[in-house]
Chains A and B, each alone.
Chain A
Amino acid sequence: MKNNNDYVTHNHDHYKDHRQRDLANRKYKDGADICIVGAGAAGGVLAYELSKAGFSVVVIEAGPFWNPQTDFASDELAAQSLAWQDTRLSTGKDALTFGHNNSGRGVGGGTVHFTGVFLRFHESDFKTKTIDGVGEDWPIEYQDLAPYYDKIERDIAVSGPKEFPWGSFHGPYPYPERNPISANSQVFRKGCDRLGIKSVVAPLAILSAPFDGRPPCISRGFCNQGCMPNSKFSTLIHHIPKAIGYGAEVLSDCMVTRIELDDQGKAKGVTFNHDGKEHFQKAKLVIVSAFAVETPRLLLNSTCSKFPQGLANSSGLVGRYLLTHTGHDIYAKFDDEVRLYKGTPVMALSQDFYETDRSRGFARGYTMNAHGGRPVSLAKNLAVSAGIWGSDLYEIMRDYNFYARITIVGEVLPDYNNFVTLSEEKDEYGIPRALASFSYGDNDNKMIAHGVAKANEILEAADGKAAFVIPDSAHLMGGCRMGRDPAASVVDEFCRSHDISNLYICDASAFVTSGGGNPTETVMAIAARTAQHIINSR
């Protein structure tokens, strides 16, 4: 592409103004220090930190290197293409929906179309077993991640309140909170105020003032469709271009199909497919950052004589303890227009119900997000998930502007029987398609009921009338959980696999429990900590 003056240039090659397609001439053909599979939230941070520290880094990404100006659009239907749409088989009592709802594809991964809600985990999230007797303890504590949370927030200029009332971090955030907030978020805060529930303007990976050559948010509301003005952080526009500046190479449109081992049983590189042709990338260290479904799938597909059950799987736990968040959407109707399409979708939230309160009848808790939305996803979810169609659907949608919404992001407890594995059916690369199974447990269902009731109370306190609830889930995690005991976990506290010393698995799949809030800041803090560990052990 010639004369590309966009903020994000197509600079994944190393020859100015030219999109490198010739894989025979790639930069680290003879081997790199580090090969990262997946350029999403974790992969982007790892590429940045490691190339900055002087390692030669190759990032191999299955999807395209997006150009926000010409690839994104202010349109829901068109934006489906940003998601990982490859077919996955999904089953279980509460079979998960995959695609735009939870899986990104292309440089930036899920951060390209995420909502930007940027939260830290609480101290209790790392030891639910010790504190509440449910779930499992992480091998790390909040304090281990705290410096990395600080760093990530500063690196991308997170906007947020001066005073954050919950957890261990109370602000202030590097950039001021967003102002004004949307009508939907105002409605939420009004309802909370009237009930004595604390709420704040949401901490967001979205600029409230100029930063690093990027403009502040213009409140157009299409964060889930990719931010065209570049006001929302993504690793596509932040970490990856900077990593390239430090010498990293990004090979986009390249699907990694296998991790290869040498005779000693150590990782020696990866095989990937570009335009139907197979290539090999040699590296001294391999990091898999391909997200909660593709990471286990790739490990399970990389069987060899030494590891016939797949790589890093001596525990038999690769793909097990798959986590999501309960994500029920609660709607109420108002006499006046709220107009859910305006502004960043989430501009206010509450974590008053985050920690365990046994009087509620369940363990752990949830975040409540005031959550805007657009017609296509609302109508589709009404029809498909709530079973509302025909004139009922038409009547709700005619009054689309009069509805307000709250979304629950609730902690799902880890369960061995929620998993990703390989199915019998193969995709175009010859890799077995992923088969995922998910069912909510008893505690999860009690939490959902509580969250739905609370959300309705808040909306009614704000003068709305409870209208309908759409069951939904959000965010995937787990599948390669971290832990101290190699028999009960897949990676150690630095995301290094127990079985293969130069194979790291670093992304949302390393989560042990889901926490009760949006997970990406934790994904990125873990990645930054893993990078530091690799740098330290050089």
Chain B
Amino acid sequence: MYEKQRTRYKGFNVLDEKKEWDQHTEEIVLKRLGPFAAPKFLLPEEKEMLKAIASHLIYDDRKEILEFVINHTDESLTSPVGEGERKPDAPPLKDLIRWGLKALDNAARGQFDCSFVELNAGQQFEMVAALQKAKAYLVPDWQQIPQKELFKKLASLIVSAYYAHPTIWSEIGYAGPAYPRGYVRLEFGLTDPWEAERNEE
């Protein structure tokens, strides 16, 4: 399912340069490699469901990366800081995610007669796609849960975390933290020596 060519920059590892980063940034980035504490908010069954949803949203099922994505989501859900903005008809983030996952699971049971995590990949994908269009299988739970909002908040948490993982930076050829070094060769076609070099084919 995830067999596509993942990188145009084979062998580039942004972490090889970590000695050039400021200490504060280095600490932050290295924490993303784990190990991770057990989730504080997410229940085990919620965690499994989120992993399945995440793998569809980010098109990746590598375990260590999903672990970080889940960890970031859990931290966001336990943080006392606000959620930026919310639609007036949507419940607060924690409730939206908790009740939303429950609703999705109930919809899976209604539509396919088994839990969301037991569905095959195609069925799960179909359900995530339906959620984005607010067309998930009808169960009473959706009365409290605006489906599009659920999709957006999940996508925001999961996608942000995924593209903050140093492995993904390496794969897309992003040079990551750049202080105190900065860039000298900015112009078209020029790269500083530590930047990723394209070597596909």
Is the beta-carbon distance between A220 and B178 smaller than 8 angstroms? Answer: yes
In contact, A339 and B172 (Cβ under 8 angstroms): no
Q: Please tell me if the beta carbons of B183 and A401 are within 8 angstroms of each other in the complex.
A: no
> Within 8 Å of chain A (Cβ to Cβ): is B98?
no
B4 and A76: CB pair below 8 A? Answer: no
Q: Are B4 and A391 in contact (CB under 8 A)?
A: yes
Query: B85, A390: Cβ atoms under 8 Å?
Result: no
Chain B positions within 8 Å of A90 at CB level: 85-88
Q: For this complex, into which size category does the number of interface residues on chain A fall?
A: 35 or more
The docked-state distance in angstroms from the alpha carbon of A390 to that of B155 is 10
Question: Would you call A222 and B179 a contact (CB within 8 A)?
Answer: yes
Q: Is B117 an interface residue (CB 8 A)?
A: no
Residues of A contacting B172 with CB < 8 Å? 375, 397-398, 400-401
| Complex contacts, B36 vs chain A, CB 8 Å | none
By a CB distance below 8 angstroms, the chain A residues around B180 are 218, 228-229
A155 contacts partner chain B, Cβ-Cβ < 8 Å = no
Identify which of residues 142-201 in chain B touch chain A, using a CB-to-CB cut-off of 8 Å: 152, 155-156, 159-164, 168-169, 171-184, 186-191, 195-196, 198
Number of chain B residues whose Cβ lies closer than 8 Å to a Cβ of chain A: 62
The answer to whether B4 and A395 have CB atoms under 8 Å apart is yes
Q: Report whether B155 and A229 are in contact in the complex, using a CB–CB cutoff of 8 Å.
A: no
Q: Which residue of A lies closest to B156 (CB)?
A: A384
> Contacts A73-B28, A341-B175, A391-B4 hold; do A219 and B183 have CB atoms under 8 A apart?
yes
Q: B82 within 8 Å of A by Cβ?
A: yes
A96 touches B (CB below 8 Å): yes
Distance from A462 Cβ to chain B, minimum over Cβ atoms (Å): 10
- List B contacts of A83 (CB < 8 A): 84
* Neighbour of A375 across the interface among B29, B81, B169, CB < 8 A: B169
Residues of the A chain whose Cβ atoms lie less than 8 Å from the Cβ of B174: 341, 374-375, 400-401
CB pair B159 A75 closer than 8 Å: no
Chain A 212-245 near chain B by CB (<8 Å), digits 1 or 0 = 0000011111100000110000000000000000
Q: How far is the CA of A75 from the CA of B28 in the complex (A)?
A: 8
A75 touches B186 (CB 8 A): no
Instruction: State whether A88 touches B85 (Cβ < 8 A).
Output: yes
B89 to chain A, nearest CB (A): 8
Closest chain A CB from B112 CB (angstroms): 20
- The answer to whether B57 and A383 have CB atoms under 8 Å apart is yes
| Contact among B7, B86, B155 with A398 in the assembled complex (CB-CB below 8 Å) | B7
Interface string of B73-88 (1 = CB under 8 A from A): 0000000011111111
Knowing A76-B164, A181-B187, A398-B171 are in contact, say whether A380-B125 is a contact too (CB < 8 A): no
- B residues 19-66 touching A (CB-CB < 8 Å): 21-22, 24-25, 28-29, 56-60
CB distance from B1 to the nearest CB of A (A): 9
The answer to whether B188 and A186 have CB atoms under 8 Å apart is yes
- Nearest-CB distance from A327 to chain B (Å)? 16
Contact B87 A74 (CB under 8 A): no
Query: What are the residues of chain B within 8 A of A70 when measuring CB–CB?
Result: 24
Bound CA span A452–B175, Å: 29
Say yes or no for B115: interface residue by CB 8 A criterion: no
Q: B6 within 8 Å of A by Cβ?
A: yes
Would you give the shortest CB distance from B61 to chain A, in whole angstroms?
A: 12
Looking across the interface, which residue of chain A has its beta carbon closest to that of B31?
A78
Residues from 104 to 156 in B contacting A, C-beta threshold 8 Å: 125, 132, 152, 155-156
Q: List 13 A-B contacts (CB under 8 A).
A: A69-B22, A73-B24, A85-B83, A85-B84, A88-B85, A183-B190, A186-B188, A229-B182, A342-B175, A375-B169, A383-B156, A397-B163, A398-B5
8 tightest A-B contacts by CB?
A218-B182, A99-B84, A74-B177, A87-B82, A220-B178, A86-B82, A90-B85, A183-B188
